[in-house]
């Protein structure tokens, strides 16, 4: 019997080989009508297009050849394709091609898109929980295929409606097989786990002294914890997970305290709006030691508990639907 879907991710290599051999060459307009640009990230732009012959609307991810390696494009496309059957992962049509200037692949159009934090002021805790459960399910699916997303952040979470009834995780541009070694990264983001920040090449540095880091699902768990904080508050908990960042240091001190103090006054200032249950959840998702970090599915144990203290948008179910999660002005950069 021929086995497909190998758990070690080697099916991805096979898919990449096959796709490379059959990647057709065409200009976008030969096959699609371009309606408008609907998104832009660090690596490419996404166009709303309709298929010229069938009229089907699609989101075409377009990556300039000048800044994209063929292998990188093939990896993103094949990983996306492999995972796109999950209801909380953006769907694909199996259409990939190259033009003179770009590599492109077509995705399901996520209509009426709202970035998860753009409207966070209006977001109710019950919506956040719906979103969190769906992203957890998507990540578990990814991890069960021995893959790691590595770019879990609000910009890559697409909402199909304002109440987060349907949410899709997108952008597999950084996804890798579990166990891949990262020697260094350039620059840091607030979503990056402390162990990832140890291999960040800082300004003026020529090399990283820390040993290479193995890509593990725990990187996604950390980013997921940060995302939950972000969508509940509207701002980042810190800029980067390094000792030089006071906000991170405060949280790390709280996590590291021998018998973690439950007393209200010991919780770092940015985290005071959260209930002890929510803090327990965060302490598991954001365990400083990657080996002790929980899996993303741990959130399920907390969805029936209150996350925000009364007066911070939580409370009884009825009140919650009326209440808004307040955005407190803070010197930290607000989430995009
Ligand atoms: N399928 C889609 N439907 C609608 N908008 C999308 C879709 N995919 C991506 N976008 C929008 O385009 C932006 C950039 O896409 P993304 O795949 O994240 O590119 P990058 O790899 O450059 O970050 C996203 O943040 C989102 O706003
Ligand atoms: Mg992106």
Look up 151 and say whether it is catalytic: yes
pLDDT at 257: 76
Low-confidence ranges of the chain (pLDDT < 70): 1-9, 111-123, 258-262, 312-336
Q: Which atom of ligand 1 is nearest to the CA of 171?
A: 17
Which residues make up the CATH 3.30.200.20 domain(s) of the chain? 10-107
pLDDT at 122: 47
Q: Which residue's CA is minimally distant from atom 19 of ligand 1?
A: 41
Q: Which ligand is nearest to the Cα of residue 106, counting in written order?
A: 1
How far lies 194's CA from each of 40, 189, 250, in Å?
Answer: 27, 11, 14
Exposed / middle / buried, residue 146 (Cβ in 10 Å: 0-12, 13-18, 19+): middle
pLDDT at 258: 65
38 CA distance to ligand 1 centroid (A)? 8
pTM: 0.89
Q: Which atom of ligand 1 is nearest to the CA of 115?
A: 27
333 marked ligand binding residue:
no
Outline where DSSP puts E strands in 108-201. Answer: 114-115, 147-148, 157-159, 167-169, 176-177, 181-182, 185-186, 200-201
Distance CA 168, CA 158 (A): 5
Which residues make up the CATH 1.10.510.10 domain(s) of the chain? 116-322
Q: Which residue's CA is minimally distant from atom 23 of ligand 1?
A: 41
pLDDT at 150: 97
Q: Which residue's CA is minimally distant from atom 25 of ligand 1?
A: 155
CATH class of 116-322: mainly alpha
pLDDT at 320: 43
Q: Which ligand is nearest to the Cα of residue 63, counting in written order?
A: 1
112, 151, 262, 289: the active-site residue: 151
pLDDT at 4: 47
Q: Which residue's CA is minimally distant from atom 12 of ligand 1?
A: 39
**CATH number attached to the domain at 10-107:** 3.30.200.20
Write out residues with Cβ below 6 Å of ligand 1.
Answer: 38-44, 46, 59, 61, 90, 107-110, 113, 155-156, 158, 170-171, 173
């Amino acid at each position: 019997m021929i086995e497909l879907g190998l758990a070690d991710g080697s099916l991805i290599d096979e898919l990449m080989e096959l796709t490379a051999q059959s990647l057709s060459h065409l200009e976008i307009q030969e096959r699609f009508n371009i309606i408008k640009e609907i998104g832009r990230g660090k690596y490419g732009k996404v166009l709303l297009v309709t298929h010229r012959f069938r009229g089907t609307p699609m989101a075409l991810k377009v990556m300039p050849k000048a800044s994209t390696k063929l292998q990188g494009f093939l990896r993103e496309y094949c990983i996306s394709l492999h995972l796109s059957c999950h209801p909380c992962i953006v769907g694909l049509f199996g259409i990939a091609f190259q033009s003179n200037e770009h590599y492109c692949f077509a995705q399901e159009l996520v209509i009426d898109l709202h970035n998860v934090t753009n409207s966070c002021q209006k977001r109710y805790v019950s919506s956040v929980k719906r979103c969190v459960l769906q992203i957890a399910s998507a990540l578990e699916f990814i991890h069960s295929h021995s893959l790691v997303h590595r770019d879990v952040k609000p910009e890559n979470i697409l909402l199909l409606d304002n109440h987060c009834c349907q949410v899709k995780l997108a952008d597999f541009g950084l996804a890798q097989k579990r166990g891949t070694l990262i020697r260094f990264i350039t620059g840091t983001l607030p979503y990056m786990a402390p162990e990832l920040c140890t291999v960040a090449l800082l300004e003026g540095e020529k090399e990283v002294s820390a040993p290479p880091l193995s890509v593990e699902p725990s990187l996604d768990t950390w980013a997921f914890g940060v995302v939950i904080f972000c969508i509940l508050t509207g701002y980042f908990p810190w800029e980067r997970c390094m000792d030089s960042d006071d906000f991170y240091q405060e949280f790390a001190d709280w996590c590291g305290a021998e018998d973690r103090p439950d007393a209200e006054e010991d919780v770092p200032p940015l985290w005071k709006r959260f209930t002890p249950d929510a803090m327990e959840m965060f302490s598991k998702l954001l365990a400083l030691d990657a080996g002790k970090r929980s899996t993303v599915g741990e959130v399920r144990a907390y969805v029936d508990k209150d996350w925000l203290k009364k007066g911070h948008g939580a409370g009884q179910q009825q009140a919650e639907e009326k209440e808004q999660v307040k955005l407190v002005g803070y010197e930290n950069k607000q989430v995009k």
